[in-house]
Amino acid sequence: MDADGWLIRAQRRPSPFCNARPAGAAIDLLVIHNISLPPGEFGGPWIDDLFLGRLDPQAHPYFRDIAGVPVSAHLLIRRNGACIQYVPFGERAWHAGVSCFQGRERCNDYSIGIELEGSDDIPFSQVQYQVLATVTRDLMAAYLGITQGRIAGHSDLSPGRKTDPGPHFDWGRYRALIG
C-alpha cells in the first residue's frame, strides 16, 4: 500500500463517490460484500460503471433502478483475482449504507469495504479467497483496529436488508487463510 492508501498491486479507478472520514474516525472494521451486474453475470464493465457513476440505465432492465445511485467500495476482487481499487483506504467509500456493527452506526465512517465479484448463490473462486486473504493481512498490518473480530459481512451490518457475501462465502476457509 502506498502512502496515499492505494493498494500497489491494484488497478486504480478513482470513484467520485467518496469523501473524507469524520475527524478522528479510526479505521477498525472490514466489510465483505458481493456484487454482480447484472445479477448473476460476471466479467463485464458494469461494476466499474456503477462505481464510477456512468452506468447506462438503458443497457439492462435491472440498471434502471440503480443507475445514478452514488455507491462505491474501496476494492473489488474479480473472479480471476484481479483487484480494482476505487477509493483510497483512508477515505470513506459509500458501501455499507444504513448500517450498524456492534451497536455503532454509520459503518462507512470507520470501515473498509471489499466487494467480491459474485452472488449469494454461486461459490467464490479459490483465487478470490487467496487475494482477499492477502489484502486482509495487509490491511490488518496497516490498521491495527481491524482484527479477526472486526471483519464482517454486509449482512451483519444490515440484517434483513442485505444478504451478502451470502451463504456460499466460506468464512472458515477465509479465516484460516488470514491466520
At residue 149, what is the residue type? G
pLDDT tens digits for 110-143? 999 999 999 999 999 999 999 999 999 999 999 9
pLDDT tens digits for 5-29? 999 999 999 999 999 999 999 999 9
What pLDDT is recorded for position 126? Answer: 98
Q: What is the C-alpha separation between 84 and 77, in angstroms, rounded?
A: 7
Which pTM value belongs to this model?
0.97
pLDDT tens digits for 59-100? 999 999 999 999 999 999 999 999 999 999 999 999 999 999
For residue 115, indicate whether it is catalytic: yes
Q: Which domains does the chain have, with CATH numbers?
A: 11-178 (3.40.80.10)
What pLDDT is recorded for position 104? Answer: 96
What pLDDT is recorded for position 174? Answer: 98
* 140-146 contacts at long range (C-beta below 8 A, 24 or more positions apart): 140/178, 142/1, 142/89, 143/26, 143/27, 143/28, 143/89, 143/112, 145/26, 145/27, 145/28, 145/29, 146/27, 146/28, 146/29, 146/30, 146/112
Q: How many CA atoms lie within 13 A of 117 on its CB side?
A: 24
Q: What is the C-alpha separation between 68 and 55, in angstroms, rounded?
A: 7
Average pLDDT of the residues in 147-168:
96
Question: Of the listed 41, 91, 115, 117, which one is catalytic?
Answer: 115
Q: What is the C-alpha separation between 86 and 70, in angstroms, rounded?
A: 13
